[in-house]
Structure 1
Amino acid sequence: MSSRETGFPRADAEHDFLRARRRQVLSRLATWLRREPDDVNIMLPFDEVVDALGWEGERRIGLRVTRLDSIVGSVNRGRDFDRRFRPTSGRVRQRWERLALASRRGEAIPPIEVYRIGELHFVIDGHHRVSVAHALGLESIEAHVTEVRTKLNPSGIRYRGDLIVKDYRRLFLERVPLTGQARAAIVLSDPWDYAELGEHVEAWGFRLMQDEGAFLDRVTIAARWYETEYEPVVRMLRQADLIGDRTEAEAYMWVAGERYRLIRTHRWDDDVIETLRNRKR
């Protein structure tokens, strides 16, 4: 018998809870000592994730065996458990220990209910059951799953802070509705840069409409900007070795800004690239 078990299910369930609480406190202390962001140990709020990614629709897909490590957030109980579903206080102790006792006695535990966004799951009902399953070392749990479709791909979301980038990217794509490869190509590290790039594309589109003397909708402007401005410029930047450690979109923003600051022009040619190469940061 391991040191974790006494052979008395009720006592073991109590020890399970105390162990989970101790681990939560130690994790919070470690985060503070490492000076990590506050959101590292906070579970993802479902509503904020959907707002950042943009809701498109949902469908029930039924009962599924769900990996515990894919359950990263909550619909409405974020304050009671941390990111790994460890209890954040003694407030949930009574119910938690009752479920742990039932699990140790081999009693059937009802499936939880979750939303699925991409590969991520968010608990609607069953937070205590997830917490107990983690504490008992299980790897999966049964769940009734409702799949939520979003405008943006949820990949890359780990912490609450990641939602800021997704939210600004979603807003950018509403202003500049790129599609397909063009949509995937625009990647910026600083969320504020999406707002700046959106304004840049809108200004480019306004100049285009003035030149052509015709109104163009956002979809047309976005496609024309990507095909006749962004792609050729990025191609020149690669050839001139001006990308550096930036993303291609970040390199484009930098060089477009420098072009106008140094040369006061919106044109692109070899003289422009040579001037920018000589001023390379």
Structure 2
Amino acid sequence: MFSNVKFLQKLTKRHPGKPQQFEQVRQAENASETIDRGAADVPVNNISGTVGRYRDFDGEFRSRNRGGEARFQHILAAMRSGTSLPPVSLYQIKDDYFILDGHHRVAAARALGRDTINARIVELLPAKKSLENQLYLEKITFRDNAGLLKSIQLTELDQYHHLELQIKQHQTWLAEEKLIDVSYKQAAQDWYQTIYLPLVTLISRSGLVDNFPGRTTDDLYLYISTHQWNSSKPRQYGIGIDKLIPRDMEAFRKKMAELKKHEYPDMKQDITFFILLNVDGRQERRIIDKLMQLEPVRELHSVHGSIDFIVKVVLSRDLLSSDAELISRFTHGNVRMLKGVISTQTLIPGLSRYKDDPCP
């Protein structure tokens, strides 16, 4: 499920000086089947082209004709004053939108720094066979079947059925809990709010996605949730995740429902270990200086006996990482490579007690 994928580049690129041509993109994507999406707020930055009028407007949808400036200024003033204006009309092809009617309103929204604009949307589905299009069609099919307003962005084919399974399991649980029939869409809405969003929030706050180039937070949601709730195979990642994310999906839902958003737990935890070093005595001072420059090194002790130094290290790791891998990477990348280090040995404490700790 989690192999590397190289994404295809977009077939057409945006040009800051001129809008994309709708017909050109439509033909490139072989997009003809239409769906009326109704009215919705559309990100202004996703409006990239025009239907049949690309010579009349620049890349910001400002009119190239003198007569258009007065119209633009009039609409700009109306928007500033809060006057209600009718929605613009857009064609959609994947994540790009093309103006059928409302160029001046879009230009004014851009000029005012608005993030979104209300629009009536007709989507044309891409039929050109490509990985990008297959992923897109799977994405919107799942979203529409579930009745969700926002899409979930996965980067591998044939993975949305895992999310559908979670929703169906949640649908069964809700029906038994409430003793009423619950539709798939009703279950999907509740799953999105009480299971999906809390776990995605944990993942986003952890910065975990930075460790997986080309992946999305939703990819990590799928990976973590399926391994935690739907897999019976032994876990290959770090210990401790069961305390944060119970093995039962509904137990996780209940746990998160009892917390406010700012009380959500952290997906990172500290790991403490010790490195025992033997070094060349002629390099001792330089090695000490180098080690003490490393932020994770908290203590360094010179000792007499079969070893020369004991170094205490505290690393922060996410709950998908292996302790052994993280310790090995730090030791080999920061300690073993120092000139004068003869040998190293790592120790991970088991039970730790401190004198000031209360007795269990």
Identify the TM-score tier after normalising by the shorter chain: 0.3 to 0.5
Structure with the greater relative contact order (CA < 8 A, sep ≥ 6): 1 or 2?
1
Task: Give the TM-score taking structure 2 as reference length.
Answer: 0.35
By percentage of residues, which structure has more helix?
A: 1
By percentage of residues, which structure has more strand?
A: 2
Q: Decide which structure has the larger Cα Rg and report it.
A: 2
